[in-house]
Amino acid sequence: MPDSAPASTDRTIELRVLRYRPELDGHPFFDHYTVAYSDDMSVLQGLQVIKDSLDSSLSYRWSCRMAVCGSCGMMINGAPRLACNSFLRDLAPGPVTVEPLENFPIERDLVVTVGDFVKKIEGIYPYLIPKTARRLEEGEYLQTPAELAAYESFSDCINCMLCYAACPQFGANPDFIGPGAMAILQRYNGDSRDGGQQQRLDRIHGEDGVWSCTAVGLCSDVCPKQVDPANAVNQNKTKSAFDFFLRFLKRETGQ
Amino acid sequence: MHLVTADILILGAGGAGLRAAIAAAQAAPDMSIALVSKVYPMRSHTVAAEGGSAGVVQAHDSFASHFDDTVSGGDWLCEQDVVEYFVSHCPAEMVQLEHWGCPWSRKADGHINVRAFGGMKIERTWFAADRSGFHILHTLFQTSTKYPAIKRFDEYFCVDLLVADGRVQGAVALSLSTGDFTAITARAVIIATGGAGRVFRQNTNGGIVTGDGMAMAYRHGVPLRDMEFVQYHPTCMPGTGILFTEGCRGEGGFLLNKDGYRYLQDYGLGPAGAVPRLKAMELGPRDRLSQAFWHEEQKGNTVSTPQGAAVLLDLRHLGRAKLLERLPLICELAEHFMGIDPVTQPIPVRPAVHYTMGGILVDIETKAPLAGLFAAGECSSVGIHGANRLGSNSLAELSVFGRVAGEQAALFAGNAPPPDSRSLGALADSIAAEAVALRQQAGDGEQHAVIRREMTETMEKGCGIYRQGDQMQATCDRLAELKSRYRRISLADKSRVWNTDWTAALELGFQLDIAQAMAASALARRESRGAHQRLDGFEQRDDVHYLCHSLAHFRPQGPPEISYAPVTITRSPPGVRAYGALGQQAEQAAKESSHA
């Protein structure tokens, strides 16, 4: 349901929403809805008005409404955006085109398949592998504000997948590890407490790893949290190259 | 019907569910753990917690002080033995999260930093900027992937528990992506499905916070305790109710009325100092601050916004650098959602429903009075919040009692006989058939969205910041009517794949039961305590009659039955709950009398 009754307004805007119900529709098509809106209404609230008053069969994911749960990524006028912090006032006079996130299979309407992305996160050892073991009684690891700052922005990834929808390499190769998972990898590899760098680097040497990236940088442009995944990818290209070179040297010198 | 067998089943994969899963996997590595969630774990509403998590860490702080703040903050309706256990286990849990990578904010020397929070006498709130819940949730989710014993069922919507032979033996869940049902049998079941704030209109909660697990346990005869105590958070966005963390005030923010006056000094919270004083003014507890807003609105001292009355949260004097370091999410929300730069303009805010203090009755080991059932986190009532929760005690609660639930469920499962899959299969089929019948029924044409809107409006009217008997009775009556209309709803969408028309209708069924428990418990409590404040002759706390927990018992026909149970008091007899200068006087008097 909408979070509040829309403020009284006679302004309306048209939403062109991609529909696809696998049990009923042979192909995706657009439905057109006209909703009244006020200045504080998001695209998500527009969809909620449709669902509650015009067409209850429209399906989409949403939850927090405040751009932190990462559920409501979709293409809005062709660009990957969070529906909850895209405002109808900024898209007036419309029409506004709303489609599921690019580069992902559609399950229904605006719902795409998330599982492959989550498997990519699971594949890069997304947890602290302590450099030195520490018992709880010994208290916390020390970490200076500067050491925190080295990885903090990468830890802000909300897993919304907008970067994947923007990434031409992921579009061409769905097995590419992609920007979001690389940001999470760098979140741990850049953490002063962590000692798992080598394990994670080993996961990204291959053709679906870091080298698939052609440095287009669209991932960072569309990130709603300024995580800068392109930077994470670049840092790891350097490390991956250096790592490869070191191993080559070790092999050559028999070490 | 798909069949899955597990040793331990956990419903909900937010902070409490994930913490329980990890604890169970560590305690019993050979056991299988099924972790069911209607959303991917990182979407769970723990993600939206901002301010931080409590844990005594400073040399001049003590468990006794955290205990006293919690018990008086809860207006003496806390289980004091549980609070003692809780406060003494918070710091280790916070360190545990640190060891798992949680990016807590740090001091220059590399130790973790703590901030001030409402109702807490000493700074003890661990924080990760203003995204503490987000970081805790992602840390727990990512850490959970280390444990192969944890098998996740992401985007599986649980419709009911499997209860047979007097014990819980699993649950039936609907796969959102296929519309198929899965019966998961288990020797022990943990409910960790979060709160129910969405039964109110203006709330800070995500759309998923619909009380599913509470309602499932309730329908199987487990009482819901203290449901009348619903927390209004004082600083939320008018209209949507989106939260501006208490950390804003912990960092020194002011609350102003339309005249720029720090009005809290008129409500027993003063005097107003230039810098934040703990347990005073803006750092008073949430119930008192929300009540002060109500009075200011009555006096005409609020500002008006397109979404109703508001007061002003003024952060300007903190300066840009501090705001961006400590409160970056708040700056982003104010700018994107309201077009306000908190560096130069105060933010209009108002109270909105935030937290369900009550929940599934459990003991100090998180055991519910149904064999095999455990509960942790906001869905549970383990007894630490009483009549009013202190900010930063809920993230700590899901950590401490999530772990306890995981360990206790593993212990229980180790001694319990395996479920009888054959007899449970038939039960699971009938549960699934009932859910499908709701989707297919012709009904009388009414849409559930209409009923949901009326439910949220009547809850706000009857069970808001201040309450009156006649209005609560009207809300109870309205809920009974809505429930009977609900039985005859019609769904436009009869399909199976990602049918959110259907799941929203199932959620509304849960919500109506929870709303009834809240309203009936509120009507029956003829006193004022914590977040339950009455204006109709019961304005005072009444320890003679109501120093006790309410228990709401489900009845299939008619309103819930309300009974009462005693409160466990160990070392803090009910006293004067006072803040600001009055609070200091009361503490001094208590000290002197204990020395006398």
Contact A157, A184 (CB under 8 A): yes
Q: What is the pLDDT of residue A173?
A: 94
**Residue B89 annotated as catalytic:** no
Contact A18/B at CB under 8 A: no
Q: What is the DSSP string of chain A?
A: --SSPPPS---EEEEEEEE--TTT-SS-EEEEEEEE--TT-BHHHHHHHIIIII-TT-------SSSSS---EEEETTEEEEGGG-BHHHHTT--EEEEPPTTS-EEETTEE--HHHHHHHHHT--S--BSS---GGG-PPP--HHHHHHHHGGGG-----HHHHH-HHHHH-TTS-HHHHHHHHHHHHT-TTB--HHHHHHHHSSTTTGGG-----HHHHH-TT---HHHHHHHHHHHHHHHHHHHHHHHHTT-
d(CA B314, CA B115): 18
Q: Which residue has the tokens 């009013």?
A: B388
Contact B508/A at CB under 8 A: no
Contacts of A127 in chain B (CB under 8 A): 100-101, 142-143, 145-146
Asked which of A153-167, B23-37, B267-281, B365-379 is least confident by mean pLDDT, the reply is B267-281
Task: Give contacts of B 228-267 with A, CB under 8 A.
Answer: 239-243
Contact B193/A at CB under 8 A: no
Contact B45/A at CB under 8 A: yes
Q: What is the pLDDT of residue B275?
A: 83
d(CA B407, CA B568): 24
Q: What is the pLDDT of residue B84?
A: 98
Q: Is the pLDDT of residue B177 over 90?
A: yes
Q: What is the pLDDT of residue B252?
A: 94
Catalytic residue among B233, B326, B403, B534: B233
Most A CBs within 10 Å: which of B18, B57, B98, as the mutation test of the A interface? B98
Contact B321/A at CB under 8 A: no
- Which of A1, A64, A151 lies closest to B453 in CB terms? A1
Tokens representing B132 are 């503490």
Contact B113, B238 (CB under 8 A): no
Residues in chain A: 255
Q: Which domains does chain A have, with CATH numbers?
A: 11-112 (3.10.20.30), 115-252 (1.10.1060.10)
Contact A90/B at CB under 8 A: no
Most A CBs within 10 Å: which of B497, B499, B506, as the mutation test of the A interface? B497
Identify the closest residue of chain A to B137 by CA–CA distance. Answer: A69
Q: Is the pLDDT of residue B257 over 60?
A: yes
Contact A140 B104 (CB under 8 A): yes
Contacts of A141 in chain B (CB under 8 A): 98-99
d(CA B280, CA B587): 13
Contact B306 A40 (CB under 8 A): yes
Q: What is the pLDDT of residue A9?
A: 66
- Residue B587's pLDDT band, with cuts at 50, 70 and 90, is confident
DSSP-derived secondary structure letter, B201: S
Q: What is the pLDDT of residue A194?
A: 98
Q: What is the dihedral of CA B528, B534, B539, B544, to 10 degrees?
A: -40
Contact B185, B175 (CB under 8 A): no
Per-residue exposure over B303-339, b if at least 16 CB sit within 10 Å of its own CB, e if not: bebebebbbbbbbbebeeeebeebbbbbbbbbebbbe
Contact B102/A at CB under 8 A: no
Contact A134/B at CB under 8 A: yes
Q: Is the pLDDT of residue B590 over 90?
A: no
Q: How many CB pairs under 8 A join A and B?
A: 175
d(CA B68, CA B268): 19
Contacts of B134 in chain A (CB under 8 A): 68, 158
Contact A109/B at CB under 8 A: yes
Contact B151/A at CB under 8 A: no
Contacts of B23 in chain A (CB under 8 A): none
Please state, rounded to an integer, the average pLDDT across all residues of chain B: 96
Contact B498 A4 (CB under 8 A): no
- In angstroms, how far apart are the furthest CA atoms of chain A? 78
- In angstroms, how far apart are the furthest CA atoms of chain B? 73
Nearest alpha-carbon partner for B193 in B360, B17, B372? B17
Q: What percent of chain B has pLDDT over 70?
A: 99
**Residue B220 annotated as catalytic:** no
Mean pLDDT score, B547-562:
96
Q: How confident is the model over B98-152, as pLDDT tens digits?
A: 999 999 999 999 999 999 999 999 999 999 999 999 999 999 999 999 999 999 9
d(CA B590, CA B110): 38
Q: How confident is the model over B466-485, as pLDDT tens digits?
A: 999 999 999 999 999 999 99
- Which of B145, B146, B495 lies closest to A21 in CB terms? B495
Most A CBs within 10 Å: which of B22, B50, B95, as the mutation test of the A interface? B95
- Residue B596's pLDDT band, with cuts at 50, 70 and 90, is low
User: pTM for this one?
Assistant: 0.97
Q: What percent of chain B has pLDDT over 90?
A: 95
Q: At what angle do helices A229-252 and A197-204 cross, to 10 degrees?
A: 100
Contact A140 B95 (CB under 8 A): yes
Q: What is the pLDDT of residue B225?
A: 98
DSSP-derived secondary structure letter, B58: S
Q: How confident is the model over B53-106, as pLDDT tens digits?
A: 999 999 999 999 999 999 999 999 999 999 999 999 999 999 999 999 999 999
* More confident of the two residues A246 and B493: B493
Query: What is the residue type of B126?
Result: W
Distance from CA of B568 to the nearest CA of A (A): 30
Q: Which residues of chain A have pLDDT under 50?
A: 1, 4, 255
Contacts of B491 in chain A (CB under 8 A): 56
Q: What is the pLDDT of residue B586?
A: 84
How many CB atoms lie under 10 A from the CB of residue B429? 14
Element (H, E) at B53: strand B53-54
- Which of A1, A66, A155 lies closest to B333 in CB terms? A66
Contact B365, B229 (CB under 8 A): no
Distance from CA of B113 to the nearest CA of A (A): 10
Q: What is the pLDDT of residue B224?
A: 98
Contact B496 A23 (CB under 8 A): yes
